[in-house]
Amino acid sequence: MQDLNKIWTSCVDTLEKQNIVEDKIMLDSLFRPATLEAIEDNKVTITTDLQWNIDPILEKQSEIESILSNSFSKPITINVLSKEEYNKKKLKQKKVPKIDSHLHPDMTFSNFIVGNSNRMAQNAALLVSTNPGKNFNPLFLYSHPGLGKTHLLNAIGNRAKETNPDLVVRYITSKDFVDEIINSIKTNTTDDIYSYYRNIDILLIDDIQFLFGKEKSSEMFFHIFNEIINSNHQIVITSDKMPDELQGIEERLISRFKSGLSFGIDPPEFETAKAILEKKIENLGNTDLVITDDVLDFMVMNYCNDIRSLEGQLKRLFFCSIMEQTNYIDMNFASEVFKDQKTIKKAQEPLTKEFILKTTAEFYYLTISQIISKNRTRNLVTPREICMYLMRELLDVTFSEIGVTFSNRDHSTVMKACKRVETKIKKDPDYKLAVDKIKQKLGTL
């Protein structure tokens, strides 16, 4: 084992002999009292008692590195710290447990398909990943399962680690978090759990709705949440519901979720869903595989409300093509594959206001109470206005009657909403497509 004290003494003697440091007072008061603390790979750490001693030592950095390179027989770079700073870093390194990020490396921003349904959520996630803890903290993303929340969570972590590899990032589901808490209670190590999460720079917690109703876990999460926010570290949360609709959660946590930035992810519009499907076909790695355009359109129209379902049906199609030893998939082939997938429409319900409400709510993964409520959040306004428009167009009921259905809104409010929908249908093809898809489900198109 090398004697670091002797190596440093020899280095200082060389500085003196070669007149690299000519001022003997400076040599004896600044250089000799310094300490060569450690060597790790090719990096040597030198400490000095006082902060203002650092710059004079660094003025001779190249000469010191040359001397130490000879002593250690390999290229050396030096890092000079005050003893106080060095001891703090050493203490922190001792306390910080090894944290596995649990990130999925294949879930990145580069392979996340962006469309109108998820653009705002993706933009917010990207901003958080490049400047964690500074803005929009916490970031809360919500949607029906299978629409990309987990992908965005992992993309945040992967981009942040790519930008700054030293960041401590942790992705965890709320179910795994509860298991950790239960285990810490059993083993009397709850203090270790607090210490563990206190040192995380970015916490990515998936499906927060499963945490609640579990009193002890919620209590610990509340304190961990506060610790992360107060330390200007980043927290990103996903859920299948917006904060106001989470059941079994304390008001103080809802308040903290709402203090940051919340965005919903809607089912993808036709073009986005088709782009996602084409990307997943590309990821299959079979460059000889040909799937005709009408098959892609069929799959998107029937399965785009859940990207996981869309991916599952693609894998089914791909498997069947392997079994049949064919690389060409047309609608005849696909029809045989999907014939038992219950894509045939059920018997049509009578066209009523209630049926229009129910169909629109299901299309946007909302409840009827959400659509008719007074809440004016972004993800509710569009479905509500379309629902009003469809009642007016398909049932020819009065604006006043529609207003009564929607929590006693004024007839002028309904009239303006219907006018906005008419304008958007003419100007926005994606918007028109959404309206047409709802009409198809209603059996009127």
157 marked as part of a ligand binding site: no
**CA atoms within a 13 Å half-sphere pointing along the CA-CB vector of 184:** 17
For Cα atoms 169, 170, 175, give the angle at the middle one, nearest 5 degrees.
165
Q: Does residue 174 contact residue 205 with C-beta atoms inside 8 Å? A: yes
146 annotated among ligand-binding-site residues: yes
List CB contacts of 249: < 8 A, sequence separation 6 or more. Answer: 212, 218
Per-residue tokens: 160:
């942040």
C-alpha to C-alpha distance for 414 and 406, rounded to whole angstroms: 9
- Find the Cα–Cα–Cα–Cα dihedral 162, 163, 165, 168, rounded to 10°: -100
Relative to beta strand 43-48, strand 35-40 is antiparallel
Euclidean distance between CA atoms 315 and 132, whole angstroms: 36
Angstrom CA distances, 203 to 227, 246, 347, stand at 11, 20, 47
Of 154, 427, 126, 434, which Cα lies nearest the Cα of 273? 434
CA neighbor of 107 nearest in space, from 153, 143, 146, 142: 153
The radius of gyration computed from the CA coordinates of the chain, to the nearest angstrom, equals 31
Q: Report d(CA 173, CA 205) in Å as an integer.
A: 5
Length of the chain: 445
Alpha helices in 18-147 (DSSP H): 24-26, 54-58, 61-72, 83-95, 119-130
Give Cα 410 to chain centroid, integer Å: 40
CA distance 150 to 161: 17
CA dihedral of 250, 255, 258, 264, whole degrees rounded to 10: 20
Output the six-digit token pair for 124: 């917010």
DSSP code string of 385-414 = HHHHHHIIIII---HHHHHHHTTT--HHHH
Work out the end-to-end distance of the chain between its first and last CA atoms, rounded to an integer number of angstroms: 83
Binding-site residues for ATP: 146, 148-150
Binding-site residues: 146, 148-150
